[in-house]
Amino acid sequence: MSRARVARRIAAGAAYGGGSIGLLGVAAVGVLLAEVALAKKSVGGGVAPLPPGSDGRYGREYGSEEPLRLALLGDSTAAGQGVRRAGQTPGALIASGLAAVTERPVDLRNVALSGARSDDLERQVSLLLAAPAGPPDVCVIMIGANDVTHRMPATQSVRCLAAAVRRLRTAGTEVVVGTCPDLGTIEPVYQPLRWLARRASRQLAAAQTIVVVEQGGRTVSLGDLLGPEFAENPREMFGIDNFHPSAEGYATAAMAVLPTVCAALGVWPEADRLDVARHENMLPVAKAAAEAAKEAGTEVTAARAPWALLKHRRRRRLPVPGASATPGVEPGTEPGAEPAAEPGAEPVLPEERGQDNGQRDTSAPLPQD
């Protein structure tokens, strides 16, 4: 059965209350559990530090304009577990990049929880919507890997995600979901676990894409973007526990998601049209979801039902203002912080990565608990 059909079945099961559609057969699960026990001896050479608090205002150098409100939800990937400085977390990086693009301050609130599965999203969304400031302008959700590793039924997983996206969209918030990463790219994990993990995580990512697009959100496939980088530079791309991404890994993830966050707000400096040369297309949503799960870094957004747009946005390296995790601390003044960018600094020229030079685009991480 094709990945598109499997993803559609999972999404349909979630919509109509089904719960019996699994990602792996009973025999496969038995093998998986045995391999997991072995993998635990290889993965996790240290203890990852708790995620540093990253809430606060970014881009203070852009003046006193009304700030944009950004929120992050999800698991340890969204929380930034594995790094020690707030400015190294994906939330801080996305907030700083968004401030640089819009030349406006950005208020970040991160309610992600390390170890969370999709059924924790209801609590996280409630925290955001109960805030006195009101609903955020845009939310980034990174979730799914713990659903796979804890064998959460796929239909339950995507049902919880769909409900979270629906609540946020009803509140007027734009939503961008970084779908389940390809767990088959974790280098210390061996066959057949790697194959099973890849199959399960890609199926879940495709199903997540379907339900998010149907609820009016956008998705970015994290997939196996960092597979080659993890293999070539494991000491750089893994954190201290040899499992969560390092600062470099989180920066790669943030730059994969940032263009779609900006596009959702209508501020990305690029025409929002399909580029055939970059293999962009309009496809039925299930087919688009399956294609995105195969090619990391792919954005999927709704078009006229039942169609979806499949895009590979040009990414730009942006001057990232010095990010302070503490409200009231000027950017660039915290210990060890990079100097803040000049106010109003322009993004540098686009740097084409992957699609246009015949190489594979490698700019998002493989995270998870």
**Catalytic residue positions, numbered:** 76, 241, 244
Amino acid at site 114: S
Strand-by-strand arrangement of the 218-220 sheet? 56-58, 106-110, 68-74, 138-142, 174-178, 218-220, 299-302, 307-311, 281-284
Q: Which residues pair with 70 in a beta bridge?
A: 108, 138
The burial class, CB within 10 Å (0-12 / 13-18 / 19+), for 294 is: middle
Exposure string over 252-269, b if 16+ CB within 10 A, otherwise e: bbbbbbbbbbbbbbeebe
Distances from the Cα of 323 to the Cα of 107, 117, 119, 353, angstroms: 11, 28, 31, 25
Nearest of 7, 28, 31, 77 to residue 257 by alpha carbon: 77
Nearest of 331, 145, 360, 338 to residue 251 by alpha carbon: 338
Amino acid at site 19: G
| Residue that the structure tokens 């246009």 belong to | 356
Task: Please state, in angstroms and rounded to a whole number, the distance separating the CA atoms of residues 81 and 184.
Answer: 20
Task: Please state, in angstroms and rounded to a whole number, the distance separating the CA atoms of residues 139 and 290.
Answer: 23
Secondary structure letter of residue 301 according to DSSP: E
